[in-house]
Amino acid sequence: MSDAGNDELRLTWLGHSTVRIELDGTVFLTDPLLRRRVMHLQRSAAVEPELYGDLDAVLISHAHYDHLDVPSLRRIGRTAKVILPRGGRGFLRRRAFHDVVQLSEEEETTVGNVRVRAVFADHPNMRASPIALSPALGYVLTGSQSVYFAGDTDLFPEMAELAPDLDVALLPIDGWGDSLPDGHLGPREAAEAARILQPRVAIPIHWGTYSPIHRQNAPPPRGDPTSAFIQHARELAPAVDVRTLQLGASTTVVGAQK
């Protein structure tokens, strides 16, 4: 459980799409990817175990290996509540995870004092294993403040209607490969998403954590995505407070004056 006050939201970026969200005494972790080595990818820095302890729920956006990573879930523990797209419950139960909640787009569940709503994401879901999951999702968490976790997505027309009066948007801005496939936001597209959503605070995620082993210590293939995102956001969404976090760093968002 979180020690944050009821009018305070604390967010800690653990790398890639993994964010610890502490809201109204309830703690979530998004798309946990905690291992130092994942297939041919290597992490730039290890994750401190205390950052993924004492959780109330894990949110899984989709089944790609860098978002649904079973070894990372095992580190958290098989008793953890896991919320994921409808169709994935059997996959985790066969691996001895029993507290599994599956949602379809626009379905909701409640964890502690926070409402969790599954929302559309424009991202192809292809996993090379016999797992049948519904299309990728994002999530909107609503308590005393609201948080939109985009998962992986491209821009889509309904984005403006996802969360009126949004406090925080967690927006993917890049990837680990030499190119950014369809279904992902680059820095400019993420800034456009900030313009559409108009959150009070935007935090870039899905960047700068994993890279192919053969490219360790090499410059990012598309330059610095955070600098590009900040520059585009100044142009497209100047009223949005962009906060870039380093691995393991936190920021606190105080509730808006109503």
Over residues 74-79, mean pLDDT:
95
What does the alpha-carbon distance between residue 100 and residue 93 come to, in Å, rounded to a whole number? 8
Q: Cβ distance 242 to 204 under 8 Å?
A: yes
Beta-bridged to residue 137, according to DSSP, are 120
- Cα separation of the two ends of the chain: 26
Task: Give residue-wise pLDDT tens across range 112-152.
Answer: 999 999 999 998 765 544 455 568 999 999 999 999 999 99
Confidence of residue 24 (pLDDT cuts 50, 70, 90): very high
Whether residue 194 has pLDDT greater than 90? yes
Confidence of residue 44 (pLDDT cuts 50, 70, 90): confident
In the prediction, which pLDDT does 16 show?
A: 92
Over residues 174-179, mean pLDDT:
68
**Better-predicted residue by pLDDT, 255 or 61:** 61
Q: Tell me the domain boundaries of the chain.
A: 8-253
Whether residue 218 has pLDDT greater than 60? no
Whether residue 20 has pLDDT greater than 60? yes
Strands of the chain, DSSP E? 8-15, 18-23, 26-30, 37-38, 41-43, 57-59, 82-85, 100-103, 108-111, 114-120, 137-142, 146-149, 168-172, 201-205, 210-212, 241-242, 250-254
Label residues 103-132 b or e (16+ Cβ within 10 Å = b).
bebeeeeebbebebbbbbbbbebeeeeeee
- Alpha carbon 216 to chain centroid distance? 24
> 160 by DSSP, 3-state: which?
helix
The domain at 8-253 falls in which architecture? Answer: 4-Layer Sandwich (3.60)
User: Would you tell me how many other CB atoms lie within 10 Å of the CB of residue 178?
Assistant: 9
Confidence of residue 258 (pLDDT cuts 50, 70, 90): low
User: Would you tell me how many other CB atoms lie within 10 Å of the CB of residue 156?
Assistant: 14
Q: Where are the alpha helices (DSSP H) in 159-224?
A: 187-197
Over residues 164-179, mean pLDDT:
86
What is the percentage of the chain residues whose pLDDT exceeds 90? Answer: 70
Query: What residues contact residue 189 under an 8 Å CB cut-off, 6+ apart?
Result: 154, 155
In the prediction, which pLDDT does 26 show?
A: 97
